[in-house]
Amino acid sequence: MAEKLLGLIKGKSGELVSTVQGHISSMTDTTGTLAKQKLLQTLISSGVIQSEHIRHALQIGIGYFLEHQAEKTSEYIHREKFPASGSNITPSHSLSDFDIEAYGLDIFNALMNIYGINPQTLKSHICDGELKEIVNPSNSGSLLYLTFDSTFLIKTVRDYDAKFIQQKFLNEYYNYVKNTPGTFISKLFGCFGYIPYLSQQKSITVDSFTLRFAIFSNFIPTNIEIHEKYDLKGSSYKRDASSTEKHKTSATFKDNDFCEIHPQGLKLPKSVYYHLKQVLTRDVDFLE
């Protein structure tokens, strides 16, 4: 199946590309990301990768790094092998062998101090129950997992977004969060890479396919009733929820739906309005 699958993957020159990485690197970042998402879906549907294995591997790998986070803060990137038989430092498991990469552990450890949560507590949220895979209402094709208590979200990030976080964003983000209590910017708790071992017979090497994930706090409240939910991007082009989505019990509407449902906008008390405006303006200025 995998040989047939890869036979359909060709580079710009029309020649067969034997590795995922070779295929992706032959294209632009955006095109490569879309191709990688499509390829991931094909690998899962063909049985080469099992989606439940990704969830369990993340729990094992992230749990390991959170357990040893204080010991691994000198280097920016850490990579650990997780053989099924286990090792002197990693647990045995029932999955195929895989690697996990962890990025910026020292900075994320400092961020957790600001957030008032320690790595062991985060590990408990992620590892003490099943991760729940949720349907992504957007068109990004991202994998989304919620912790069993819906407190944290684990989401795939594009390769160039992961690189941006590592090289440019993380240090600035730390300084901003440290100096700006009350920011509405999502709390970021970690960035990891999952590398499955795909056999040589399937023409894919171990380094040829890496899924990168970020851990966020779940900004959607779980203790109050949600009446309406919107995915807003500040654009009107193709920003309508589908008719199927609109008829769902917990539909996610988009920009044009908001304008139609609330043509006069939302009315807020003055104090709330000015507070929201101040915080949002400050956050947007930082993100620019």
**Domains of the chain (ranges, CATH numbers):** 50-217 (3.30.800.10), 243-287 (no CATH)
Mean pLDDT in residue range 65-89: 86
Q: How confident is the model at residue 280 (pLDDT cuts 50, 70, 90)?
A: very high
Give the 3-state secondary structure percentages of the chain, helix then strand then coil, rounded to 5. Answer: 45, 15, 40
pLDDT of 80 strictly over 50: yes
pLDDT higher for 139 or 110?
Answer: 110
For the cut 60, the answer to whether the pLDDT of residue 281 exceeds it is yes
Average pLDDT of every residue of the chain: 83
Lowest-pLDDT range, 82-91, 110-119, 206-215, 262-271? 206-215
> What is the rounded average pLDDT of the residues 28-32?
54
Check residue 22 and give its pLDDT. 43
Q: What is the mean pLDDT of residues 242-249?
A: 93
Question: pLDDT per residue over 161-193, tens digit each?
Answer: 888 888 889 999 999 999 998 999 999 999 999
CA angle 197, 198, 204 (to 5 degrees): 125
- Is the pLDDT at 5 greater than 70? The verdict is no
Confidence of residue 222 (pLDDT cuts 50, 70, 90): confident
Q: pLDDT band at residue 265, thresholds of 50, 70 and 90?
A: very high
* Three-state SS annotation for the chain: CHHHHHHCCECCCCCECCCHHHHHHCCCHHHHHHHHHHHHHHHHHCCCCCHHHHHHHHHHHHHHHHHCHHHCCCCCEEEEEECCCCCCCCCCCCCCCEEEEEECHHHHHHHHHHHCCCHHHHHHHHHCCCCEEECCCCCCCCCEEECCCCCEEEEEECHHHHHHHHHHHHHHHHHHHHHCCCCCCCCEEEEEEEEECCCHHHCCCHHHCCEEEEEEECCCCCCCCCCCCECCCCCCCCCCCCHHHHCCCCCCECHHHHHHHCCCCCCCCHHHHHHHHHHHHHHHHHHC
So what's the pLDDT on residue 141?
61
pLDDT > 90: percent of the chain: 58
Report the pLDDT averaged over residues 248-262.
95
Return the bridge partners of 262, or none: none
What is d(CA 255, CA 263) in angstroms, rounded to the nearest whole number? Answer: 11
Residue 35: predicted pLDDT: 64
**In the predicted structure, residue 112 carries a pLDDT above the cut 90:** yes
Give the model's pLDDT for residue 93: 95
